[in-house]
Amino acid sequence: MRTCVIGGGSWGSAFALHLGRKNIDTRLWIREKDIYEDAVRFRENKIFLPGAMFPSSVSFFNDEKEAIESSEIVFIAVPSKFCRNVYTKIQPYLTSKHIIVSLTKGIEDGTLKRMSEVIGEVFSSHFTPRIAVLSGPSFAREVAAAHPTAVVVASKDISLAKEVQHFVSGSNLRAYTSEDILGIEIAGALKNVIAIAAGISDGLQFGDNSRAALITRGLAEIARLGITLGAKRETFSGLAGVGDLVLTCTGQLSRNHYVGTEIGRGKRLEKVVSHMNMVAEGITTTLSGFQLAQREGIEMPIHEQAYLVLYKDKDPRTALQDLMARKLKNE
């Protein structure tokens, strides 16, 4: 099969590199003209994935139509805030024969829709899209370095999930399958909010006890919302749930944890973001996650405090103190 990866950031580039190592004919679409030209010239994404050299099986494109042409599986790895626009741009070049796999971990601002829902909304007026999502603990740099990684592929059509599973699995990446596309997407998106909270705690030098508490209670919040929306409880004990949550809250490569750490050290969000060349999805997901909880009437105190710190300038130390002062209850 020939495949296409839409998105030349760190994750899209790393995933294209992985597929290329499997000798799959892979086309990587890169939006930024300078990064595209560098990739063609040096076979490296010097901005988002420096040091990782693409094999000859990966080719680079700056035109969406040319990238998608003749591809059978299209992986989309762009930040959630750009997804609807990108989906709209590539829609004319796709048909019901294509498999569309979302690699994005986020919730659309405003609509509060998951990425698979946005895909369905954009494409359904033209054809019924065959949709899967891929998630799990998978730092781009480690995938690019061929470190052993496990992910989960979810689709309402389990046969489709299995097809993608076999397509992406290899000696360094093992995929599992799930039919709980809702739970996989909710877990993948909201873990970034808890990572920001854990980073704030670390920035305040509160230590391992505090981080462990935030991870554990954060998982309870994510599962509470996900189950209310219709997800399966066991999803949150898996790779896309606790697996990705622990990685993002503790790993040194986590952008969201970095954002939280810098805020905990006293920096304002605007200044932190201005020094980053990659998107930390948890910033916008903090707002959308809080709004989802409000809409569903679900108590999510960590998400609420993260929202107040990021969007209402609440002092981080006060926010964590307020979490500790909440009414005592059963676990």
Rounded to whole angstroms, the Cα distance separating 190 from 188 reads: 6
Amino acid at site 231: A
Q: Tell me, what's the pLDDT at 141?
A: 97
Mean predicted lDDT score pLDDT of the chain: 97
The confidence band for 134, taking pLDDT boundaries of 50, 70 and 90, is very high
Look at residue 172 and give its three-state secondary structure.
coil
Residue 29 burial (10 A CB sphere; 0-12, 13-18, 19+): buried
Catalytic residue among 46, 97, 156, 191: 191
Using the predicted structure, report yes or no on whether residue 204 has a pLDDT greater than 90: yes
- Tell me if residue 191 is catalytic: yes
Q: Tell me, what's the pLDDT at 1?
A: 82
Would you put residue 266 in left (φ > 0), alpha (ψ -120 to 50) or beta? left
Percent of the chain with pLDDT over 70: 100
Domains along the chain?
3-179 (3.40.50.720), 182-324 (1.10.1040.10)
- Measured between alpha carbons, how far apart are the two ends of the chain, in Å? 49
The confidence band for 263, taking pLDDT boundaries of 50, 70 and 90, is very high
CA angle at residue 87 from 86 to 92, to 5 degrees?
110
Confidence (pTM): 0.96
Under DSSP, the state recorded for 99 is: E
Under DSSP, the state recorded for 327 is: P
CA distances from 74 to 21, 262, 265, 266 (A): 17, 36, 41, 42
The confidence band for 167, taking pLDDT boundaries of 50, 70 and 90, is very high
- Mean pLDDT over 70-85 rounds to 96
Q: Tell me, what's the pLDDT at 118?
A: 98
The confidence band for 277, taking pLDDT boundaries of 50, 70 and 90, is confident
Among residues 151, 146, 128, 180, which one has the least CA distance to residue 53?
A: 146
pLDDT tens digits along 175-193: 999 999 999 999 999 999 9
Rounded to whole angstroms, the Cα distance separating 194 from 323 reads: 13
